[in-house]
Amino acid sequence: MNSPIHVLLAGDREYSPFLLEGLTNKSFLEMPDGQLLNRTLRAIVDARYVKVLVVVGPELLRPRIPRSLNGIRTVFIEQRDSFSENVSVALQWVQQHYPSSSAIFITNDAPLLTSGELDRFASVVESDHAAINIAVARVPEADLQSSLVRQYIRSIVTLSDGPYLIANQVSLTPAVIEIISTIQALFDLRKQSRLKTSGRTLIYALRQSKNLKIVMMWLRLIVAKRVWLRKPRSQVVSKVALPVAAIESGLEEFIGHNLRVRITEIPDSMGCFDADTQEQLEELRKVITTQPQFKPKAAHA
């Protein structure tokens, strides 16, 4: 397999509930060291494993993407009408130009993403050959009360060895183009903090699969999250929650098509903290200002 191709999803269609501060695109959010797009591009430039960058976004973003970033080839694709269509068009481009490569997708609203996280995940994707690889970050118990992490309690997935957040990187091979709608549905249903979402998840599982094992997997995920929200240290959580390996095999059965699924923990990952609310954005700005590893630095010439 060739080196993975990185894709920055910077679209703004279908994103209206998450757009902040009156902007049409989060790429232009002001951070302590300039606009968010510039911060993301610096992390990409500093990453050793990024060889090709595909940016999917609106035309207003095209002039901001140079043809090359310190030797990294860049390609701009005009956004389609939905998130899943943006993913599909990027995968089609990869299939055409780098047919033996996976595409690593990152979004344009994760200001704490670092070059180290990009390299650690890319090295796994390059060697592992999974059709779907989801980067996750374990959330230490000591961090659960921090003002930043409290903004993301809804997004945490509760597994048997602890709480996790999806770490803003997912790799896909062109083989998944035909099931992008399923991937999108699973992503949309990942947050089980609200009873409405839990109900939608169970209904989706029942409609899509007659396999009782798969339905029970989703049910256990729902119950573990609901119990954890009320009593984080309850022994019921560890007994009901599933390990990573069980989630991988369950997703493989549910998705089908003989596609291999892997979940990769990225140590010390912070990229999972994306900006979907104004409160989250303000906390992210505080972290950038106060924590040494995220403080503003000089831009590349």
State the average pLDDT for the chain.
89
**CATH number for the domain whose boundaries are 5-176+258-294:** 3.90.550.10
The residue length of the chain stands at 301
d(CA 280, CA 163): 19
The three-state secondary structure class of 4 is coil
Tens digit of each residue's pLDDT (9 = 90 or more) over 8-62:
999 999 888 889 999 999 999 999 999 999 999 999 999 999 999 999 999 999 9
Contact, 6 vs 93, CB < 8 A?
no
Report the pLDDT averaged over residues 111-125: 96
Q: Is the pLDDT of residue 207 over 90?
A: no
* pLDDT computed for residue 190 by the predictor: 62
Pairs from 277-284 (Cβ < 8 Å, separation ≥ 24)? 277/20, 277/151, 278/20, 278/21, 279/151, 280/151, 280/152, 281/20, 281/21, 281/29, 283/147, 283/148, 283/151, 284/31, 284/111, 284/112, 284/148
pLDDT band, very low/low/confident/very high, at 270 (cuts 50, 70, 90): confident
Find out whether 142 and 175 touch, Cβ atoms under 8 Å.
Answer: no
Best-predicted range by mean pLDDT (11-15, 134-138, 207-211, 266-270): 134-138
Share of the chain above pLDDT 70, in %: 91
Q: Please give the pLDDT value at position 300.
A: 45
- At 220, the amino acid letter reads R
**pLDDT computed for residue 77 by the predictor:** 98
Report the C-alpha gap between 106 and 7 in whole angstroms. 6
- Cα separation of 246 and 188, whole Å? 20
Any idea where the domains of the chain sit in the sequence? 5-176+258-294
Tokens of 78: 């005009």
Contacts of 144 (CB under 8 A, 6+ apart): 150, 153, 163, 232
Which tens digits make up the pLDDT trace of 64-92?
999 889 999 999 999 999 889 999 999 99
Assess whether pLDDT exceeds 70 at residue 104.
yes
Residue 1 has pLDDT above 60, yes or no: no
First to last CA, the chain: 33
% of the chain exceeding 90 in pLDDT: 65
**Confidence bin at 179 (pLDDT 50/70/90):** confident
- Cα 39 off chain centre by: 17
Q: What is the mean pLDDT of residues 188-216?
A: 69
